[in-house]
Amino acid sequence: MRANAPPRGSSGFFAAFAVSCLGYALAPGAPVLARGMLTLLAVPLLAGLVVQITQRPNRSLAYRFFVAFLACGLPMAGYALFSMLALQSRFAVSMGGDARLAVAFLIAPAYGVLAGCLAGATASLSRKGAIR
Amino acid sequence: MSLFLEERDDGGFGLYLDGDLQFDTADEAIYHECLALPALCLARALRPESDRSLRALICGGGDGLALRECLRFPDVRHVDLVDYDPEVVALGRTRFAELNGNAFADPRAAVHIADAWDFLRPEAAYDVALCDFTTPRHPEEARVFTREWYTRIGDALAPEGVLAINGLSPQCAPEAFWCLVRTMQSAGLHVLPFRACIPSFRDAGYGVWSFFLAARFPLPHALLRDLRCPVPTRQADLRRLARAARFSRAERRLRCTVPVHTLEAPCLLPLLLNPGLTPSPKSREVFAPAAGGPDPDYDLRPLLGAIPVLHPYYSRAMLTYVAESVVGAVGTLDLYRLLDAILHRAAELPAALLTELRRLRGFLSEQLPGLENLGAWGNRLFCALVILMTIANTIAPDSAFGKGSFGLGHASVSRGYAGSFSGGRGFSAPSSRAGTGSFQGQPGFRGARSAPGASSSFRGTPGYTGMPQSFGADRVVTSGFRTSYGRGHAVDIYGNVYSQRSFTYNASFNASFDVHSVHSMPVGGGTHGTVPPSGATPSTPHQALFIAADDLLVLDNGDIVITLSPTGYLLVSGGRIALMSATAPAPLLPLYANPAVLARIREQLQYQQMVAQREMEIRRDWLNWVGWTAALFEVVQADRREMRSLTDLNRHLMTALERLSAPAEAPAPEMLPPGAVELFAECTLLPDGRITLRRADGRRIFTDGRHLWTEQLAARQKCPPELSTLLKGVLVKLEREFEADLARNANDARTAAGELRTLEYDLREYESIARSNPDDPNYSVDYGTDSVGVSDAIFRTQQEIQATIAQQDRLKAEEAQRATELERLRAARTAFLP
């Protein structure tokens, strides 16, 4: 039963995940504007393209979207979270530190969702043979 | 056996054997007097008056303190002390010699390094025997608390001999306490226990302590009531012994429930280690020794070698001993028997409870089939949380764990900047006191002054300490810029809010400096600084906006104030410095604007600006991430406000820096006579008691508090009362500061003396070890947290001793200098009486 199941095609996920991680690893050194463009535009687009290319054409759009969403959204959320935690720790006045931590934990998933949606939308662009 | 000596600053110390407190010098007399004197008194009372000479035996007690008590007793003619630990006896002969009155040198004392068990002979016929053993922590140590031991020592007593025993705590281990009573009784002894409260034992968590008197004959309470001691006691009150020997019925009832501790059926340790355990007769077999025991072939050394020993109090030997004890204790456990005992107890559960438990199990397996998975998910979640917290803690170290922080992060003490004008003074090592950034002005002053300028301020005293409206004393709350900046309160860079303070002075001061000041008045006559000249610009109050250091304030118009005393301050504006009175808006005296002073102010402001800019940069980054959520989160709105406040502060600091311009020319530094004490920038107390101030034109004026004169003109002018009051205020504050310095110096000297004693003791120890191992100079010893060769340890300790002696010399020199300067200040203050 399990042997007859179609292969899951997870290599696309890992490739997109690796691209995202690489992109977010480069981001901290960039200027503010370039960083924003890189993290919220370039990396999600690139990750989405990677998923689109590596997935089989017979995959559903929803499946592609979900794979790209996870592959880009998770690193983005992690990057946002650790960036905000690092910034928070550098504040000389630690007043409101707990509230900032809460904000960081709430905002980071939002960034992840944003980047993930962009990557997912890119990945689910119609290709020949894709199941709608 | 591990031995640890904890020395205190007051010269006292406590001895720990295997981690257990044996005595503390503060109250050791209570312990040893309670142990020795009642037995000696009792034995003496039972002897005929014609022959009251006593023979005593002390088992244990290698420290010599029980021996001291015995030898204090006039009727004692011979004492045998038997202890198996030569190390403790060696300490008794050396380190404790002063404490035990050099008891080992007494000809009546005979010391035997042997096992007390083997030493005892039935024919010895001692009149008094004292058992001063440590509380057992190991089965082997509990041997001298068995019935067999008490039988043996009872046989070694004379028919009217008395036995005194160091007991246990009837408060913390009542079962073990009564077990000992019952054990002694089973050995044919009559026992009289009594309590004693020993503060150091109580503080160590041992509770109320106890001692036992035992003999072959009955010991009624009346004996204790009528006890007469021929020697005075120091701390123990023997008149209360009879009362201390009373135990309630409930307490005495416990004796019937505990077993007897014998070699074949040892039970003392379980009772001692499990207070509250009331064994039933059935459970006695649980105390029986388990078969087997620890595997003798198992080598612990590789495992123990891998454990780092970092604490200065704990040596590797102690760790090894504890680990072996644990392995030994675990090895003696009979798990099968333990399981049987647990199952036996489980079977005693009420049937109804068992039925309910079975129903619960069935319900869970039917209704919640995924419950087992929940455990697995819980493990995963826990692992993920641990990893997340580890990473988060790496990014943002938590100061609560003492890891501190980098830069200005968090609320740890590392926030203080050592090179600033504040902080640092007196809190660190004595050597770090001097030169932490003073405004001593010219290099030529450095030799002439010491303490005040070497402190952390522009003048000797820290800013507002002791002032009615003191920034230092009136720090209100730590709430950040968001609530306070620009709202009338002064703040520092960390958001600490200080009480409101304003300075009113003549606005034209900045423009021309051409005011009715003392410099135009003194010798040629005229008005002094309190009366404004006709047509002068009206005075304007200026709020203190920012505290750059304890005594360095930035006003809202960018001018800078250096606080001196409650009655005066220095105003720095436009590259000029003026001495101001708090009661007059016009400058008392324009002072020479020393370029070095201005440079230090500039340096401080630039540092504060750098900190502000760094904070702004961090907040900007933070707001880039979360700024769009300001409508949702209050903290983000607050961060935005704080960002605006920081921007405004940065602008004010820039204004202050622009207004702080250096003077065009910098004359050569002046040399002041030796022994002069700088009061503040350009103001010095001379050795003859006069005070000199350097005017804006570089020339000096002199005052003795009553008159003013210059070098050029000998004619004297009356000193303005504002100036006299201001200078006196500075002298008073400096005097307090010097007194505090002296007190700190004395404290440092005491600490250094304590360190020296410890080092000398360590050196003697190392030398003793080296003598014991003459063929191996690299014999490994503990040196702090390291293990080094003994020769290396001796060398390092000698170096440390030399360094400590040098430090003591330096402290003495500083103390002498400060004392001289303090005397000079006092004399000057007296001369400045209004």
A39-81 pLDDT, tens digit each: 889 999 999 999 888 877 777 888 889 999 999 999 999 999 9
In the predicted model, is pLDDT for residue B462 greater than 50? no
- In 3D space, the residue among B339, B182, B175, B169 whose CA is nearest the CA of residue B270 turns out to be B175
In angstroms, rounded to a whole number, what is the distance separating the alpha carbons of residues B360 and B352? 12
CA distances from B211 to B175, B188, B241 (A): 15, 18, 11
Residues B626-633: what's their mean pLDDT? 89
Check residue B56 and give its pLDDT: 93
Q: Measure B600 CA to nearest chain A CA, in Å.
A: 24
Task: Tell the residue number behind the tokens 């459970």, with chain if given.
Answer: B283
The lowest-confidence range among B151-160, B501-510, B521-530, B612-621 is: B521-530
Residues B566-582: what's their mean pLDDT? 84
CA distances from A78 to A69, A111, B741, B773, B828 (A): 14, 9, 53, 60, 67
Q: What is residue B16's three-state secondary structure?
A: strand
Contacts for B390 with CB less than 8 Å, ≥ 6 apart: none
Residues B140-162: what's their mean pLDDT? 90
pLDDT higher for B166 or B407?
A: B166
**Contacts A104 to B, Cβ<8 Å:** 626
Selected residue of A38, A83, A93, A101 to mutate for chain B interface (largest B Cβ count, 10 A): A93
CA distances from B71 to B37, B101, B211, B410, B719 (A): 11, 10, 20, 61, 75
Would you put residue B410 in left (φ > 0), alpha (ψ -120 to 50) or beta? left
**Which tokens sit at B210?**
């106890």
Each residue's pLDDT tens digit, B194-224: 988 888 888 888 888 999 999 988 888 777 8
CA atoms within 13 A on the CB side of A77: 16
Longest dimension (CA), chain A: 61
Checking DSSP bridges between strand B109-113 and strand B76-83, what pairing results, if any?
parallel
**Which tokens sit at A103?**
């904000």
ipTM of the complex model: 0.86
Percentage of chain B surpassing pLDDT 90? 10
pLDDT band at B395 (very low <50, low <70, confident <90, very high): low
Q: Measure A9 CA to nearest chain B CA, in Å.
A: 26
Check residue B665 and give its pLDDT: 58
Helices and strands, counts by H and E, chain A? 5, 0
Check residue B64 and give its pLDDT: 92
- In 3D space, the residue among B220, B225, B226, B219 whose CA is nearest the CA of residue B242 turns out to be B225
In the predicted model, is pLDDT for residue B528 greater than 60? no
Query: Does the distance separating the beta carbons of A87 and B396 come in below 8 Å?
Result: no
Each residue's pLDDT tens digit, B289-343: 444 444 556 677 777 777 766 665 667 777 777 777 777 777 777 777 788 788 8
Check residue B400 and give its pLDDT: 40
Q: Which of B18, B24, B27, B132 is catalytic?
A: B132
pLDDT band at B425 (very low <50, low <70, confident <90, very high): very low
In angstroms, rounded to a whole number, what is the distance separating the alpha carbons of residues B149 and B154? 8
In angstroms, rounded to a whole number, what is the distance separating the alpha carbons of residues A70 and A16? 9
Check residue B473 and give its pLDDT: 35
Selected residue of A37, A76, A95, A101 to mutate for chain B interface (largest B Cβ count, 10 A): A95
Residues B122-148: what's their mean pLDDT? 88
Nearest CA in chain A to B625: A84
**Which tokens sit at B717?**
């002018």
| Spatial contact of B526 and B427, defined as CB atoms under 8 Å apart | no
Residues A7-36: what's their mean pLDDT? 80
Q: Measure A35 CA to nearest chain B CA, in Å.
A: 11
User: Who among A32, A91, A104 is closest to B618 (CB)?
Assistant: A91
pLDDT band at B397 (very low <50, low <70, confident <90, very high): low
Question: How many residues does the structure list for chain B?
Answer: 834
In angstroms, rounded to a whole number, what is the distance separating the alpha carbons of residues B212 and B181? 8
Q: What is the CB neighbour count within 10 angstroms for residue B686?
A: 17
In angstroms, rounded to a whole number, what is the distance separating the alpha carbons of residues B624 and B465? 42
Residues pairing with B20 in the sheet: B17
- In 3D space, the residue among B749, B756, B739 whose CA is nearest the CA of residue B804 turns out to be B756
Query: Does the distance separating the beta carbons of B611 and A85 come in below 8 Å?
Result: no
DSSP B85-102: -HHHHHHHHTTTTTTTTT
Most confident stretch, B426-435, B488-497, B544-553: B544-553
Check residue B78 and give its pLDDT: 92
Check residue B244 and give its pLDDT: 83
In angstroms, rounded to a whole number, what is the distance separating the alpha carbons of residues B462 and B472? 9
pLDDT higher for A92 or B446?
A: A92
- Write out the E strands in chain A: none
In the predicted model, is pLDDT for residue B749 greater than 60? yes
pLDDT band at B346 (very low <50, low <70, confident <90, very high): confident
In angstroms, rounded to a whole number, what is the distance separating the alpha carbons of residues B406 and B316? 33
In angstroms, rounded to a whole number, what is the distance separating the alpha carbons of residues B690 and B705? 8
Q: Does A33 touch chain B (CB under 8 A)?
A: no
State yes or no: is B132 an active-site residue: yes
Each residue's pLDDT tens digit, B812-829: 998 888 888 888 888 888
DSSP B79-140: EEEEES-HHHHHHHHTTTTTTTTTGGGSTTEEEEES-HHHH--GGG-EEEEEEEPPPP-STT
**How many inter-chain contacts (A to B, CB under 8 Å) are there?**
76
Q: Measure A84 CA to nearest chain B CA, in Å.
A: 7
Angle between helices A43-54 and A11-26 (to 10 degrees): 160
Query: Does the distance separating the beta carbons of A32 and B624 come in below 8 Å?
Result: yes
- In 3D space, the residue among B324, B326, B320, B289 whose CA is nearest the CA of residue B306 turns out to be B320
Residues B63-82: what's their mean pLDDT? 90
Would you put residue B254 in left (φ > 0), alpha (ψ -120 to 50) or beta? alpha
Residues pairing with B214 in the sheet: B163, B191
- In 3D space, the residue among B45, B109, B48 whose CA is nearest the CA of residue B82 turns out to be B109
Each residue's pLDDT tens digit, B545-562: 888 877 888 888 888 888
B219-248 as b/e, with b when 16 or more CB fall inside 10 Å? beeebbeebebeeebeebebeebbebbebe
pLDDT higher for B463 or B78?
A: B78
Q: Does B624 touch chain A (CB under 8 A)?
A: yes
- Write out the E strands in B133-288: 157-166, 190-196, 209-215
Check residue B256 and give its pLDDT: 79
SS (H, E, C) B228-239: CCCCCCCCCCHH
In the predicted model, is pLDDT for residue B280 greater than 80? no
Q: Does A34 touch chain B (CB under 8 A)?
A: no
Q: Does A60 touch chain B (CB under 8 A)?
A: no
Query: Does the distance separating the beta carbons of B391 and A82 come in below 8 Å?
Result: yes
In the predicted model, is pLDDT for residue A88 greater than 80? yes
Q: Does A92 touch chain B (CB under 8 A)?
A: yes
Check residue B743 and give its pLDDT: 87
Q: Does A30 touch chain B (CB under 8 A)?
A: no
- Write out the E strands in B681-739: 683-685, 691-694, 700-703, 707-710, 717-718
Residues B739-759: what's their mean pLDDT? 87
Q: Measure A61 CA to nearest chain B CA, in Å.
A: 31
Q: Does B638 touch chain A (CB under 8 A)?
A: yes
Mean pLDDT of chain B: 76
- In 3D space, the residue among B526, B530, B569 whose CA is nearest the CA of residue B551 turns out to be B569
Residues B730-735: what's their mean pLDDT? 85
Intra-chain end-to-end CA distance of chain B, in Å:
70
The lowest-confidence range among B81-85, B140-144, B515-519, B531-535 is: B515-519
Check residue B524 and give its pLDDT: 35
Most confident stretch, A105-114, B226-235, B569-578: A105-114
DSSP B735-791: HHHHHHHHHHHHHHHHHHHHHHHHHHHHHHHHHHHHHH-TT-TT-EEEETTEEEEHH
In the predicted model, is pLDDT for residue B60 greater than 70? yes
